[in-house]
Homo-oligomer: A and B are copies of this chain.
Amino acid sequence: MRDDLPKGFAAGTAQAAFRKPGRPDLGLLVSEKPCVLAALFTQNLFCAAPVQIDRAILKAGKPVRAIVANSGQANACTGEQGLRNCEKIQSLLAVDLGLQPDEILLISTGVIGAQFDMGKWGLALPDAARNLGSQDAEGFTRAMMTTDAFPKFASRSLQLSGGEIRLCVMAKGAGMICPNMATMLCVALTDAGVERKAWQGIFSRAVNKTFNRVTVDGDTSTNDTILGLANGASGVAVQDQEDLAALEAALTEILDKVSYMLVKDGEGAKKVIHISVKGAATDSDAELVARAVGNSQLVKTAIYGGDANWGRIVNAAGYSGASFNPGEVGLVLCGIERFHDGSPVNDDKEEELAALLQQSDVDVKIVLGRGKGEYTLKASDLGHEYVTLNSDYRS
């Protein structure tokens, strides 16, 4: 058991060569105590086989003990056989670990539409079980990586009225990122003890403010899953309102940190665009505008090139589907006002702006009118490297 995982959790990995040999592509997380589960899943109609399995476990509401993760194959769009393969993995692992099959969750990422090679699973699962405790958060995260340039994880401790607890978040994701009520593969662990309903509430609100507010390419994947496991191994039960609020704030902070890393590592991305929309009639209108701007290829390529072509941002707001009065709209780019009450600001700040656009984080503030609706979104830029990576991802 390594230091940065919360108490009572152990991780192991194996090299199964699901897609390419010579790297860990199977990760295992086991809790010594039963865990309370909270989870959110993709809204994609083609949700992957592991998503269907996990959703059933969440619905049953019983404690869980382990998560098995793999990269290389997404096990999505694989029909009945995909589900049978998940169940086979649960059975094999249940024997190795002395658990019930329905205490084991699965998360998968990789190519859509390919069936698992169960021979490889049969060889690699005992390996991962054998080295349980040898890996830290980084090790487990690396086993989930595909086109990720770096592993995304963070951990922290938190002092509550009953004592200290730990939180750890591990995620993967670089492309096909536009989480919708869930994210790419992500696991959040805590050794706090929390009641199931409270934990799911805290979890849903925290994810909604963080992972659900990032986009790389607007493609919501078949496998988006975020699992939150609380095993109570710290001996600290989180019950009173103040402690619950502190846990939610800490979880939100750490999820925000890791979701930022996801955008930062958007395939080939050089910059993170921080979009803030205010003054909308409703939060939904603000969200429509933020998403249209954050997913616009023209905005993303302009930011990539350091071009202060702000008209593309306003254009995206205009076709977003949100209702507003164009004559009340304003735009501030990197702290410099470019558009005010529907008219351009004519000053000579192009050079100053060009310098600011070279930075790795770019601020886009949009005011839609006089309403109270608002939304924030983090988006990656779009460069040559995205095209290179995605025009031959499978090879």
A-side residues, CB < 8 A to B, are 42-47, 74, 76-81, 111-115, 175-176, 178, 180, 217-222, 295-298, 301-302, 304-307, 309-312, 314-319, 322, 324, 326-327, 329, 338-339, 341-344, 346, 382-384, 386-388, 390-395
Contact = CB atoms under 8 A, between A and B. Distances in A.
Contacts of A114: 344
Q: Which 5 A-B pairs have the closest CB atoms?
A: A112-B311, A305-B391, A79-B343, A46-B318, A301-B390
A297 B113 contact: no
B78 A343 contact: yes
A338 B306 CA distance: 41
A387 B393 contact: no
Nearest to A325: B45
B390 A112 contact: no
Contacts of A44: 315, 318-319
B387 A315 contact: no
Contacts of A395: 307
Main secondary structure of the interface of A (DSSP, over half): loop
Given A302-B393, A319-B44, A77 B311 contact: yes
A162 B322 CA distance: 49
Given A78-B344, A305-B392, 9 more contacts: A44-B315, A77-B315, A81-B343, A112-B309, A114-B344, A175-B298, A218-B297, A220-B318, A302-B391
Interface centre among A74, A318, A322, A344 (most CB of B within 10 A): A318
Nearest to A296: B219
Nearest to A219: B298
Given A77-B342, A80-B343, A391-B302, A219 B319 contact: yes
Contacts of A219: 296-298, 312, 315-316, 319
Contacts of A112: 309, 311-312, 314-315
Contact of A387 (B176, B301, B344): B301
